[in-house]
Structure 1
Amino acid sequence: MDGVICDTNPYHSLAWKAFLEKFGITSSEEEFIAHMYGKSNSYILKYFFKREIIGEEFAQMEFEKEALFREIYAAHVTPIAGLIEFIEDLKANGVKMGIATSAPYLNMELILSILPLRDKMQSLLASEDVSSHKPNPEVYLKSASNLDISPERCVVFEDSFSGVTAGKAAGAKVVGVLSTYKKEELPVCDAYVPNYNELSFQKIKDLFN
């Protein structure tokens, strides 16, 4: 979802900066690129606090940071260029679709409350639905199961190193969305796109030929 449906990362950066400053922790965009984008909140908190954050402390910190993100981002929810039209093309051609995000459920709900996507999706999975986060492939394997399609017949859209790794580990085709990283900064994908303006059902179908 983040960096794939919407370019949320600049707003996550703002939220993380504000959150970390409360604890006297300074952060840089370089650190966010290396240790925030595409990473789970447990990893991010461990990196910046230099210790494991678990249990109730983790739950409270995560809720506070993500609530801050939703407050900042709510007025700016915008799909990546061409996404809605691409989704409608896939839907018209009978493609089953799902969202598989490392973000909390409430973040997904914010975006689905604004963008016309909910009725196009047959599977919705957020961080609460898995025990192991990306780069572990669990969220994609569960999505494929929900869609009743073998992972090898699925296409994953990802913008981060850990996400691409998870998609490939699940056995799916992976399209790298270059909203956050450059092509050379991601693992090898089956295709790369800057946005969805030039994508179509036929082009996705061609990945399997």
Structure 2
Amino acid sequence: MSKGVIFDMDGVLVESEEFYYQRRIRFFEEKGIVPGSDNLLDHVGKTDRGIWEMLIPHDSHLRQALHKEYKTYREAHPIDYPDVLRKEVPEVLGALKEQNIKVGLASSSARKEINQMLSATGLAPAFDYVLSGEELKESKPNPEIYLKTASALGCADYLAVEDSVLGIRSAKAAGLYTVALKQSYPVDQSESDIVITDLRTLLNMI
């Protein structure tokens, strides 16, 4: 039976969620604007569009203007992907390849961010298929991102690896066995099938 593993990116492969959150909050503080939410958990697992609709919920013109400014701010304050890459990721991805297991990446992040992470860490060859939520009409918790990734990989059986509530719901709605990677901050992962503390545990589950 052919098997596939589909990974989320932020919070799973890279410990980036807190960096992204802190960068947005600093931007709003420097602009002297109160964001729609300064709760970390409200920022986790959403697409870029979803995050900005939350940050500026009632003024689309201000949202568009700030978002444009933030793109410049983000370029000036980049994340160091190799620094936030979980140390066990290369080992785990390499072991999956050795077992001829198809590997997919299904992330709510923008395609540009995904490509930057893959390039900076050298992980691009490890993935058989990569999909960004911004390329879909609806991203997580809609199951489309997982359904499309699973279809592209063409396996008989799948395992999804997630961290956020929205991501877990997306994978479960797609009918995938869903593993949640425990985070350093409190997040409800009770809807997953199992919670693990180290990605290497996956190698005993395949």
TM-score category of the 2 structures, normalised to the smaller one = 0.7 to 0.9
Distance apart, 1:47 and its partner CA: 2.1
After superposition, give the CA deviation of every residue in 1:66-123 in whole Å (9 maximum; x if it has no partner): 8617833136543223121111111100100111111011111111112232111110
The aligned residue for residue 24 of structure 1 is: 32
Alignment of 1:190 onto 2:193: yes
- Provide the rounded CA distance (Å) in 1 between the counterparts of 2:184 and 2:76: 20
Instruction: Tell me the residue number matched to 1:167.
Output: 171
TM-score by length of 2: 0.82
> Which of the numbers 68, 85, 92 marks the counterpart of 2:98?
92
Aligned: 1:50 with 2:57: yes
Cα distance in structure 1, aligned partners of 2:115 and 2:81:
14
Instruction: Please give the alpha-carbon distance, in whole angstroms, between the structure 1 residues aligned to 2:194 and 2:136.
Output: 27
Give 1:29 deviation, angstroms.
8.7
Moved more, 96-105 or 77-86: 77-86
- Bigger relative contact order (CA 8 A; separation at least 6): 2
2:93 is paired with a residue whose SS is: helix
Structure 1 residue runs without a partner (length 5+): none
Tell me what 2:107 maps to: 101
Amino acid at match of 1:91: K
Query: Counterparts of 1:58-137 in structure 2 under 5 Å?
Result: 58=64, 61=67, 64-65=70-71, 68=74, 71-74=77-80, 77-137=83-143
The answer to whether the Cα contact below 8 Å between 1:174 and 1:189 also exists between their aligned partners in 2 is yes
Indicate the larger mover: 38-47 or 69-78: 69-78
Whole-angstrom CA distance in 1 between matches of 2:11 and 2:72: 16
Q: Residue 114 of structure 1: SS of its match in structure 2?
A: helix
The 1:28/1:53 distance shift into structure 2, 3 A limit, reads: closer
Between Structure 1 and Structure 2, how many residues are aligned? 198
- Contact 1:97-1:122 at 8 Å conserved across structures: yes
Q: Sequence identity of aligned pairs in percent?
A: 24
Matched position secondary structure for 1:174: strand
CA distance in 2, matches of 1:50, 1:142: 30
CA RMSD of aligned residues (A): 2.9
Q: Distance in 1 between matches of 2:150 and 2:40?
A: 30
8 A contact 2:14–2:81 mirrored in 1 = no
Rounded to whole Å, the distance in 2 between the matches of 1:36 and 1:49 is 13
Aligned to 2:152: 146
Secondary structure of the 1:72 match is: coil
TM-score, normalising length from structure 1? 0.81
Letter in structure 2 aligned against 1:204: M
Structure 2 residue aligned with 1:15: 23
Residues 120-142 of structure 1 deviation map (CA, whole Å, 9 limit, x = unaligned): 11101113321101000111111
Task: Tell me how far 1:189 sits from its aligned partner.
Answer: 1.7
How big is the shift at 1:64?
2.9
Query: Structure 2, unaligned stretches of length 5 or more?
Result: 1-8
Higher normalized strand content (fraction of residues): 2
Partner of 1:188, secondary structure, is coil
